[in-house]
A and B are shown apart, each in its own frame.
Chain A
Amino acid sequence: AQKITQTQPGMFVQEKEAVTLDCTYDTSDPSYGLFWYKQPSSGEMIFLIYQGSYDQQNATEGRYSLNFQKARKSANLVISASQLGDSAMYFCAMRDHNTGNQFYFGTGTSLTVIP
């Protein structure tokens, strides 16, 4: 079974608008971490944001926020006020204690910001 599911292969958003990238996860471990990474066309992987399973509040990092809905096992990335430089591939990932802290990645969402 897929541990991380990203159902949107590609997304478009108008510059300055907000966009939500979906991510659902599957684990029975009460202790886990959720991560989002950005991969621009240059290829490097850039860490964006982290959410712990015990965190009571949604994580935020500048224009990035994570909409964490634990009961639904959902960890959507919200990018506010999109910029052209946000055009990239975005990967959701999870790490859980039960599997020896193994990482699991989704297949990614390609975001294109339209001027």
Chain B
Amino acid sequence: EAQVTQNPRYLITVTGKKLTVTCSQNMNHEYMSWYRQDPGLGLRQIYYSMNVEVTDKGDVPEGYKVSRKEKRNFPLILESPSPNQTSLYFCASSRDREDYGYTFGSGTRLTVV
């Protein structure tokens, strides 16, 4: 089944404790992206990647890191999480074409206390 697998689904952590949210897709998509969703603010892009070893900042990159060492994986790293990073996070992938939509992961609900 074609899918984007995102883990974990739920995570509660403490301020400052480094964490990684994994994202993997099995569709050979070039384009991958991370979003955070907060009430009233819609989806805001954190980072995106056009292909292996090519990443770029989205609208809200501060406090996050990403890497794209393999085409299928695009982990999101929070080196020192803070409470304002409490949010719902989505990974998504797509072909690099304007007529292709996203396939989204199931989301990760992160709480930083």
- On whether the beta carbons of B104 and A107 are closer than 8 Å, the reply is no
Q: CA of A41 to CA of B85 in the docked complex: distance in angstroms?
A: 21
User: Given A43-B88, A43-B109, A45-B90, A103 and B40 touching (CB < 8 A)?
Assistant: no
Q: CA of A43 to CA of B109 in the docked complex: distance in angstroms?
A: 9
Taking CB as reference atom, which chain B residue is nearest A107?
A: B42
- On whether the beta carbons of B101 and A35 are closer than 8 Å, the reply is yes
B79-113 contact mask (Cβ, 8 Å, vs A): 1 or 0: 00000000010101010111111111011010000
Residue numbers of A with Cβ under 8 A of B are 31-33, 35, 37, 43-45, 47, 50, 52, 91, 93, 95-97, 100-103, 105-108
Contacts of A93 in B (CB 8 A): 101-102
Q: CA of A100 to CA of B31 in the docked complex: distance in angstroms?
A: 11
For chain B, the bracket of interface size reads 20 to 34
Residue numbers of B with Cβ under 8 A of A are 31, 33, 40-43, 45, 48, 50, 88, 90, 92, 94, 96-104, 106-107, 109
Q: How many A-B residue pairs have CB under 8 A?
A: 56
Contacts of B96 in A (CB 8 A): 101
CB distance from B21 to the nearest CB of A (A): 15
CB distance from A53 to the nearest CB of B (A): 8
Q: CA of A47 to CA of B48 in the docked complex: distance in angstroms?
A: 20
- On whether the beta carbons of B99 and A47 are closer than 8 Å, the reply is no
Contacts of B48 in A (CB 8 A): 102
CB distance from B93 to the nearest CB of A (A): 11
- On whether the beta carbons of B98 and A45 are closer than 8 Å, the reply is no
- On whether the beta carbons of B102 and A44 are closer than 8 Å, the reply is no
